[in-house]
Amino acid sequence: MSTVAAIATARGEGGIAIVRVSGAEAERILRSAFRRAGRKNRDYESHRLYFGHAVDARGGVIDEAMAVLMRAPRSYTREDVAEIHCHGGFAAADRVLRRVLELGAEPAAPGEFTRRAFENGRIDLSRAEAVMSVISAGSEAALRASVRELEGGVSQFIGECRKALTDLLALIEASNDFPDEIDEPAAARKVACEARSIAGRLLARVDEKAARIVREGVSVVLAGRPNVGKSSLLNALTGTERAIVTDIPGTTRDVLTESVNLDGIRVSLSDTAGQRDAADAVEMIGVERARAAQKYADIVLIVLDGSEALTEEDKSLLKQRDGRCIVVLNKDDLNAAEAVQADIRVSARTGEGIAALASMIREKAGAAALHEGLLTQERHIACAKAAAEALQRAVQAIEGGAPLDMASVDLWEARRRLGEITGEDAAKSVIDAVFANFCVGK
Ligand SMILES: Nc1nc2c(ncn2[C@@H]2O[C@H](COP(=O)(O)OP(=O)(O)OP(=O)(O)O)[C@@H](O)[C@H]2O)c(=O)[nH]1
Ligand SMILES: [Mg+2]
C-alpha cells in the first residue's frame, strides 16, 4: 500500500498545524523532511515528540517544528505514522506538505487515514463513522452519542445481536442435519421467540426523531399575533438583541433564526412575523413564511399577550394547538387582562419565567433524545430497521407453520443487514459511500 500524507488540522490561522504521513515510507520521509535538534542521527523512539526543524531539499529551514513517529501497529492506521507539527496558518503547513509529497508520499484521499484504520482491522465501520460524527458534533448531546459510538457502543450491541442470530442459524442447521435428535417444533418455538426478542431489542434503539434531534438539534418556532412579544422572547432566550423590537405591530417581516445551546441540546429558535390578515404585500409574505415555519417545527411556542384580552387571531392560533405546542403567556409583569389557559407565564421584559421556559423546551425536545444507546446515524437506523423487518418475517413464517428452512432465509438477511452496520458484511460501495463524507486529513 502506498504512503499517504495530508494536513490533519483545519485550514486557517491557528497555533499549530499537523502534517500527517502514513505508510511504510513514513520514517524515511520524516528523516528527510525533519531535522532534529542536537544529535540528529540517533534512532527515533516510537511515540516520542522531538524538537527540530522542517527542512527543504537543500536543508534550508521551512519552519521550527516538532515531530513524532508512531511505529506500526501502535498507530491510528496501524501503519507507521509520522507527524510534523509546524506553525498554523496557510504557508508553513502547505510548504511542509509539499516537501513530504516531493519525498514520495501521495496526497491522502478524504478519510483515508480512517479507512486504513478500518481496513487494517483497528476499528469497525460504525466506529469509523463515529470519528466523523465526533468531528462534526454541534452540541454536547451529539458529542456524547458520537463518543459512545467511537468507544464501540454500537459495535458491541450489534455484535451481540449478530451472535444471537448465528446461534439460531446453527440450531436450524442442526435440526436439519439431525432430525432425530432435535425436536423440530420445540426448535421452531425457540427460533420464533428469540427472533422476536432480537427484533424488539433493535427497534428499541430506533427512534428517528430523537436521533435527528441528537444529530441536528431541535427547531423551535415562535408564533403569535403581532406585538405579543415574540421578538422580545427570542432576545431573552438567546441573551442577545438579535431581533428588532418595537411597539409597532408588524415589526418582524422575515423568519429570523438563532441557535442556542439549551443544556447540551442545540436549539434553533425562529422568530416570525405576527400572524394577522395583513394589508401590505411584504407583511403578507412574512405571515405566509411564519405559517410554513410553524408547520415544520419540532416545537411551536404560541405566544399570547397577558395584558390584553384574547383576539380572534389568538383564538385561531390556539385552535391549531397540538402536541408540539407550548402556550406562553408573555408580559406577565403587566396587569393580567383575563385568566387564560397557558402552559407557562413569562415576562420577556423582566426575564421572569424565561429559565423555566427554556427547561420546558428542553424537556419537550430532549426527554427521548437523551435515551442512552439510541442509534443516531441514519445508515445504522436503516440497517437495523431492515434487520428487524426480516426477523419479523421469519417469525410470521414460523408461526404460519412454514418449515424452519424457509425462515432461515430471513434470518440470514437480518444477519447480513447487521453486518452492514459494523462493516463485517458491507459491500465496497457501502464502504466507499461512508468514507466519501469524510474530510481530508482524517
Ligand atoms: N411590559 C412588557 N412589554 C413587553 C414584553 N415583551 C415585549 N414587550 C413589548 O411589546 C412590544 C412588542 O414586542 P415585540 O417583541 O416587537 O413583539 P412581536 O411579537 O415580535 O411583534 P411583531 O414582530 O410585530 O409580530 C414592544 O414594545 C416590547 O417592548 C413584556 O414581557 N412586558
Ligand atoms: Mg417581532
Q: Measured in angstroms, how far is the CA atom of residue 276 from the centroid of ligand 1?
A: 16
Contact yes or no for 78/72 (Cβ under 8 A): yes
Q: Averaged over 60-83, what is the pLDDT?
A: 97
Residue of the nearest CA to atom 11 in ligand 1?
Answer: 247
Q: What's the pLDDT at 214?
A: 85
Separation CA 18–CA 34 (nearest Å): 13
Amino acid at 164: A
Q: Is the CB of 274 under 6 A from ligand 1?
A: yes
Q: Which atom of ligand 1 is nearest to the CA of 250?
A: 24
Least confident of 47-51, 56-60, 209-213, 373-377: 209-213
Residue 188 β-bridge partners:
none
**CATH fourth-level superfamily of 214-369:** P-loop containing nucleotide triphosphate hydrolases (3.40.50.300)
Report, as an integer, the average pLDDT of 167-192.
91
Q: In what order do the strands lie in the sheet with 325-330?
A: 256-262, 265-271, 218-223, 299-305, 325-330, 344-345
pLDDT at residue 265 in the model: 83
pLDDT at residue 76, as a whole number: 97
Q: Give the distance (Å) from ligand 1 centre to CA of residue 212.
A: 32
For position 439, what pLDDT does the model report? Answer: 86
- The side-by-side arrangement of strands in the sheet containing 16-22 is 34-36, 49-55, 61-70, 81-87, 16-22, 4-7, 106-107
Element (H, E) at 188: helix 184-204
Give the separation between CA 164 and CA 194, rounded to whole angstroms.
8
Q: How far is the CA of 318 from the centre of ligand 2 (A)?
A: 19
Could you tell me whether strands 325-330 and 265-271 are parallel, antiparallel, or unpaired per DSSP bridges? unpaired
pLDDT over 90 at 15, yes or no: yes
- Worst-scoring range by mean pLDDT, 36-45, 67-76, 117-126, 423-432? 36-45
Per-residue pLDDT band at 255 (split at 50, 70, 90): very high
Cβ–Cβ < 8 Å for 234, 271: yes
Dihedral angle computed from the Cα positions of residues 102, 106, 109 and 111, in that order, rounded to the nearest 10 degrees: -100
Helices 404-422, 153-177: axis angle to 10 degrees equals: 160
For 124-168, what is each residue's pLDDT tens digit? Answer: 999 999 999 999 888 888 898 899 999 999 999 999 999 999 999
CATH topology match: 136-204+378-436 vs 214-369: no
Instruction: Pick one of 1.10.3720.10, 1.20.120.430, 2.40.50.140, 3.30.750.24 as the CATH number of 136-204+378-436.
Output: 1.20.120.430
- Of all protein residues, the one whose alpha carbon is nearest to atom 24 of ligand 1 is 250
Answer whether 251 contacts ligand 1 (Cβ < 6 A): yes
386: how many CB neighbours lie within 10 A of its CB?
A: 17
Orientation of helix 140-150 relative to helix 125-136, angle to 10° = 160
- pLDDT of the residue at 42: 77
Contact 310, 326 (CB under 8 A): no
User: Counting atoms of ligand 1 from 1, which one is nearest the CA of 225?
Assistant: 25
| CB contact at 8 A, 105 and 7 | no
| Per-residue model confidence as pLDDT tens digits over 327-344 | 999 999 998 776 678 999
Q: Report the first-to-last Cα separation within the chain, whole angstroms.
A: 18
CA of 251 to the centre of ligand 1 (A): 10
User: Looking at ligand 1, which residue's alpha carbon is closest to its atom 27?
Assistant: 247
Q: Where are the domains of the chain?
A: 4-108, 136-204+378-436, 214-369
pLDDT given at position 208: 86
* Ligand 1 contact, 270 CB (< 6 A): no
Q: Name the residue type at position 141.
A: A
pLDDT at 381 over 70: yes
Looking at the chain, how many residues does it have?
Answer: 442
Q: How much is the mean pLDDT over the chain? A: 93
Longest CA span, the chain:
87
Q: Answer yes or no: CATH 3.30.1360.120 is held by domain 4-108.
A: yes
Q: Please give the pLDDT value at position 119.
A: 95
Which ligand neighbours the alpha carbon of 228 most closely?
A: 1
Q: What is the average per-residue pLDDT within 246-262?
A: 92
Query: Is residue 354 in contact with ligand 1, taking CB distance under 6 Å?
Result: no
Helix (H, G, I), strand (E, B) or coil at 252: coil
Region 296-319 average pLDDT = 94
Q: What is the Å distance from ligand 2's center to 245 Cα? A: 6
What is the 138 CA–ligand 2 centroid distance (Å)?
A: 28
CB of 347 sitting under 6 A from ligand 1: yes
Grid cell 387571531 in the structure block, residue = 313
pLDDT, one tens digit per residue, over 81-125 is 999 999 998 899 999 999 999 999 999 999 999 999 999 999 999
Does residue 286 have its Cβ closer than 6 Å to ligand 1?
Answer: no
Say what the pLDDT of residue 339 is.
Answer: 67
Q: What is the pLDDT of residue 40?
A: 56
Nearest Cα to Cα of residue 165 among 196, 207, 186, 189: 196
| pLDDT bracket for residue 278 (50, 70, 90) | confident
Share of the chain above pLDDT 90, in %: 79
Closest CA to ligand 1's atom 17: 229
Q: What is the band of 212 on the pLDDT scale with cuts at 50, 70, 90? A: confident
Residues of the chain with pLDDT > 70, as a percent, come to: 98
Candidate from 21-25, 37-41, 55-59, 232-236 with smallest mean pLDDT: 37-41
Q: Binning pLDDT at 50, 70 and 90, where does residue 192 land? A: very high
Q: Pick the residue whose CA is nearest to atom 21 on ligand 1.
A: 227
Per residue in 359-378, pLDDT (tens digit) is 999 888 875 556 678 899 99
Q: What is the pTM of this model?
A: 0.78
Asked whether residue 41 carries a pLDDT value surpassing 70, the answer given is no
User: 305 — phi, psi (to 5°)?
Assistant: -95, 110
